[in-house]
Structure 1
Amino acid sequence: MASTHPRADGPRRRVFSPADKLSHLAAYEQACETNEGGAYLRREGLYSSLISEWRKQRDAGVLDGKQPGAKIGKLTAEQAEIARLKQELARANKRLTTTEAALDIMGKAHALLDSLSERADFGDKPNKR
């Protein structure tokens, strides 16, 4: 290959600092709220696998408080377990919120039906002819 070729010295690997990773995660999640996540990844030249790995690192607390340029390796078994448990807790909390809202709606519907039933019983006196 000629030295003028863009990859004459080999492919260059991009390196992201913990702050970069956190800012990309925040921007990607914000873009996903408007269904623009894929466009964000294409625009920034990122892969979804990077986002997944960075989420695991963030959830395990690996990205917090790291100095710029600090090396971040793979998660330890304990960090991976913490990340998994945090995700499980978030899912359980979401289900709890949904269930509480459904129960609240059901309670209001029950009260409304009771109210309508009482009115119907009160207004349905037999007519004597």
Structure 2
Amino acid sequence: MAPEDLTRQQQELTTSPPDPEVAEKPVRRRFTAKYKLDILNQVDSCTKPGSLAALLRREGLYASNLNTWRRQRDEGSLAALTPKQRGRKALKPDPMAVENERLRKEITRLAKRLKQAELIIDVQKKVSQILGITLDTPPESESD
């Protein structure tokens, strides 16, 4: 055997085998805008044959990632490179509904205060009857 073959065999023995365990749920990779721009700059600087493929293998990327990121970059905004928020879009609340809710809460608060005031007035009437104090009644208004 040639010495090169021995060193290659030694390297294969010293490297640990990959872990055969598979994760329960794969984690989706998320790329930041800065990372995308860095990779695109590195791709643009690849001039030697095979250097682009080596970069993609090293980073674990696909050519489709580059195509998407280039298109996003050419659209002109850095914000276009950030991942889109998935799921339903949040609806803006209707201003009338917000105002109605605020008014309902105020009505509920005022109704509680009115009930408390009527209870206090009833207690004052009963105490005045027990003590024999006559209360002046306000004159009736014609608008009632």
Does the pair score TM above 0.5? Answer: no
